[in-house]
Amino acid sequence: MTDKVTHKRSNHSAAKKRYLKLIDSVKPQHEFDNKKTPSPPDYNDKKFWASFLGDDGFHLLSPDCKEMNEKKEFDVFYIHPTGFFDQCWNAPFDEESAAYERTSSHLASQASAFAQSCNIFTPYYRQATYYSFFDIASSGSMALDIAYTDIANAFKVYLEKYNQGRPFFIAGHSQGALHGQRLIHEHVSKNTSRDLFIAAYLIGYILPIKYFDGLYPDLSISQSPNDQQVIISWSTGTEGFSRSRAKSLFWTPNGWKKEKMEQPLVCNHPLSWDQRREWIEDESNISIRLKSSTLFLNDYHAKSHSHAKLSIDKIKNLSLFARLSQNYMIETKGTLIDKVASFTVDGDLHNLDIALFWGSLRNNIRVRANAFIKK
Contact indicator for 84, 128 with CB cutoff of 8 Å: yes
Between CA 345 and CA 204 the distance in angstroms is 15
Residues belonging to the chain: 375
Question: Taking the C-alpha atoms of 138, 143, 148 and 153 in order, what is their torsion angle to the nearest 10 degrees?
Answer: 130
Q: β-pairing, 118-123 with 49-51?
A: antiparallel
- Please state whether 191 falls in left (phi above 0), alpha (psi between -120 and 50) or beta: beta
CB neighbour list of residue 123: distance below 8 Å, 6 or more residues apart: 41, 43, 48, 49, 50, 79, 150, 151, 154
Judge whether residue 305 has pLDDT over 80.
yes
What sign has the CA pseudo-torsion 340, 272, 323, 252?
positive
DSSP assigned state of 295:
S
Determine the average pLDDT of the residues in 11-38.
86
CB neighbour list of residue 214: distance below 8 Å, 6 or more residues apart: 252, 253
How confident is the model at residue 17, as a pLDDT?
82
The β-bridge partners of 330 are 236, 324
Q: 173-225, pLDDT tens digit by residue?
A: 999 999 999 999 999 999 999 999 999 999 999 999 999 999 999 999 999 99
Average pLDDT, the chain: 94
Q: Which helix (H) or strand (E) holds 122?
A: strand 118-123
CB neighbour list of residue 160: distance below 8 Å, 6 or more residues apart: none
pTM (global) more than 0.85: yes
